[in-house]
Amino acid sequence: MSREIKFRARVKRKNELVYLKGFRYSGNEKIKITFADEDKDDCTYTFLNKDVCLEQFTGLHDKNGVEIYENDKVFDGKYHGIIEYMECSFVINWEIDCSHDDDLNYWNDKIEVIGNIHERSENNDK
């Protein structure tokens, strides 16, 4: 199975989520990220590694066609979960102990992305 490899980054000090065109580690403590700004111009910035949280695209879309990334919060109509990368695959870490399978490949067309772990709203406070 092949999938598109894409990343987004949460820039902590700006509390901003950007979809990356590329990234490169610069030494042991810095990362350069490139993304398109509102005018679709490429921007490249250097940050300390600790100030950027990279999140990988799973290659899957939810039931509404929304791309699913690591750290996304999802909802299946009854239970909430968080997308994580574990043991070489993407899984749903359900927020309560339920009998649901955690394999994202099974759930992707049955769940809805409702946010991510970095943001808080009425819909994803859980």
**Tens digits of per-residue pLDDT, 87-111?**
888 999 998 876 666 888 888 899 9
Q: Which candidate, 84, 72, 79, places its Cα nearest to that of 117?
A: 72
What predicted TM-score, i.e. pTM, was given to this entire model?
Answer: 0.84
Among candidate residues 34, 54, 74, the one where a domain is terminated: 54
Residues 72 and 92 in one domain: yes
The residues of the chain scoring below 70 in pLDDT are 1-2, 98-101, 120-126
CATH number for 75: 2.30.30.290
> Residue 118 has what pLDDT?
85
Count of domains for the chain: 2
- The domain in which residue 73 lies consists of 59-124
